[in-house]
A and B are shown apart, each in its own frame.
Chain A
Amino acid sequence: MSNRVINILVPVISVILGLLVGAVIMFVSGYDPVKGYIALWNGIFGDAYNMGETVRQITPYLLSGLAVAFAFRTGLFNIGVEGQLIVGWFAAAYVGVAFDFPMYIHLPLAILAAAVAGGLWAFIPGLLKAKLQVHEVIVTIMMNYIALHTTNALIKVMSDGGDNTGTIQASASLKSAFFESMTDFSRLHYGIFIALAMVVVMWFILEKTTTGFELKSVGFNQHASQYAGMNVQKNIILSMVISGVFAGLAGAMEALGTFQYASIKSGFTGIGFDGIAVALLGANTPLGIIFGATLFGALKYGALNMPNEAGIPVEIVSIVIAIIIFFVACGYVIRYFLEKTNKKKEAK
């Protein structure tokens, strides 16, 4: 087995193991796993509406996965995607509500606002990491909470003590009449094209530009990159900012597409944290992220059907996703067993 095959096998085996563990948990808890997974399947592919909603759910996952993966490639762990997403969400909603422009200005402006907000939110941990060697994980976690409280406070101010920004102007909306007619009025919106375009953008930056080469190089070995004359500090900041831009765009998808508003949140959306799972499963590659986002987005949305059809709490899917991350993180062991069985075969 070549290295390449093993690299693909590890996530595949992890997903299978995750689903198996999920089945065992359902069985032990007195539920019928077969019924559960059929309900999950129907929740994803059951009818046009569900399929539309599934793709709608995949959209922000693509972007949050890209955000985590992009930072990973430069050796940075951006747990702050959640916070960057929240500020992006608010910024897009604010521009969407507060201004009144023709669509060809308003929509790009709202999207840009989200990207800038997310980028700025990621700039702070990037700067601290580059200049003061402060670990980005802790800073981004703290920034998540600051983002949550800040946007909540801003929404409160904006709505005079209310808990909602109000619906955005139609000129800033990503809503799609075409998709609505196709998918029985699901909330599927044009954002999916933006998300897919960003996958290409990530691939292009990393594989086709000098900047991308430098970013990856810094991820592999900072000292060697420094020696080769690259500006390590600049690359660290740049990587965080680009990552934050992707995260901010994920927020724009929610603000301009799915919900059309921003409201006060008691807790996190979870999309940013699930982005870690998406990136990990997709091995931080653009193509892998499409698979990761599709799988997790579909699981998350499809699970909503499980309580109705099979009487199983939706959280079973969160358990499965966590277990999958766990197995991918323990890839060393899976690799070890694969290589061991491989050697045995060769010996025969």
Chain B
Amino acid sequence: MSFLEVLYFIIPSAIFYAAPLIFTAIGGVFSERSGVVNIGLEGLMVMGAFIGILFNLMFVDTFGSMTPWYALIAAMLASGLFAVMHAVATISFRADQTISGVAINMLGVAIALFSVKMIYGKGQTDYIQERFIRDDIPYLSEIPILGPMFFKDVYGTSILALIVALLAWFVIYKTPFGLRLRAVGEHPMAADTMGVNVTKMRYIAVILSGALAGIGGAVYSQSISGEFSHSTINGQGFMALAAMIFGKWHPLGALGAALFFGFAQALSIVGGEIPYIDRVPSYFLHILPYVLTILAIAGFIGKANAPKASGVPYIKGKR
């Protein structure tokens, strides 16, 4: 295999594996920027993956080849709703954000598996008939070198992920809403004094993070696994959390980190077919994202600071 062929092979796979992480990591950025730690991303992704598959299996006769896209919307709504639980607990009830997140993770898996067993009478769902399909993008795919790398045989969801990341950057850094969001996460009391509704902002952010994690989960289940079982989402949510931190709580940083983690995942799965890489034990590729994240937050790869107020419930009148 020539070097260029390797690139044609590995880059689309990297983007393919990164897409679910991008959605979820961007969700994490919204939540944490508003000052709410969301460890529950994993559970929210599980919920999205499950609802995506469930919807797909139930309505495939009605919607035909468009089913995965409608399922994506259903998953977004379901996980957004599920995130309300985290929002109520952490924002209104002043629960410890990490513990509430742990509860969300346990609950997401438990509810999804409970429902699967109830509906299908076994531990996993059937395989879906309609998956997301790959397509060439007209004109762009004909560009030499770049075309086959980025625009040939791409998933619509990958393009959507890139758009969402750019959109998130615009919203967070270029709109009044984004300014308020960041203010609430850095210094809620100052924001409150200036008339920003801290509670409302945080609710919106947490629900957004749930919705995006739901999309991430549904993308994963409908393009990579094709069914739902206990091991469909196995650490994807935590890897997205890692991508968010590695990307320094910045949407584009998170995008870059997610792409990189997707690359590591792709290598660990298809690396056996690539010269040189096939000699690296897959073990090292498996642990790479996690080790990098530890190095990143330890400050070895530039200093990364969490939003100041993240993890602290806002109580009016308390200094």
Contacts and interface: CB of A to CB of B under 8 A. Distances in A.
A181 B190 CA distance: 68
B98 A322 contact: no
A146 B98 contact: no
Interface in B183-221: none
B93 A333 contact: yes
B106 interface: yes
A321 B106 contact: yes
Contacts of A128: 294, 298
A326 B103 contact: yes
B287 A322 contact: no
B39 A153 contact: no
A318 B106 contact: yes
B28 to A, nearest CB: 12
B281 interface: yes
A234 interface: no
Contacts of A267: 230-231, 234
A150 B241 contact: no
B100 A145 contact: no
Interface residues on A, range: 35 or more
What DSSP secondary structure best describes chain B's contact surface? helix
A99 to B, nearest CB: 25
Contacts of B85: 326
A29 B230 contact: no
A79 B111 CA distance: 22
Nearest to B109: A318
Given A139-B297, A273-B106, A280 B99 contact: yes
Given A145-B287, A315-B114, A333-B93, A276 B241 contact: no
B106 A139 contact: no
Contacts of B93: 330, 332-333
A301 B230 CA distance: 19
Contacts of B306: 135
B95 A332 contact: yes
B94 interface: yes
B1 interface: no
Interface string B260-292: 000000000000000000000101001100110
B235 interface: yes
Interface string B221-265: 000000000110011001001100100000000000000000000
Interface in A6-43: 25, 29-30
A135 B114 CA distance: 34
Contacts of A313: 113-114, 117-118
Contacts of B73: none
Contact of B110 (A77, A132, A152, A315): A315
B299 interface: yes
Contacts of B238: 141-142, 145
A16 B139 CA distance: 63
Contacts of B102: 79, 273, 276, 325
A333 B93 CA distance: 6
A277 B283 CA distance: 31
B297 A146 contact: no
A333 B95 CA distance: 9
Interface in B96-123: 96, 98-100, 102-107, 109-111, 113-114, 117-118
B89 interface: yes
Contacts of B235: 145
A48 interface: no
14 contacts: A132-B298, A138-B297, A139-B298, A141-B39, A152-B283, A273-B102, A273-B105, A319-B110, A321-B106, A322-B103, A326-B85, A326-B100, A329-B100, A330-B95
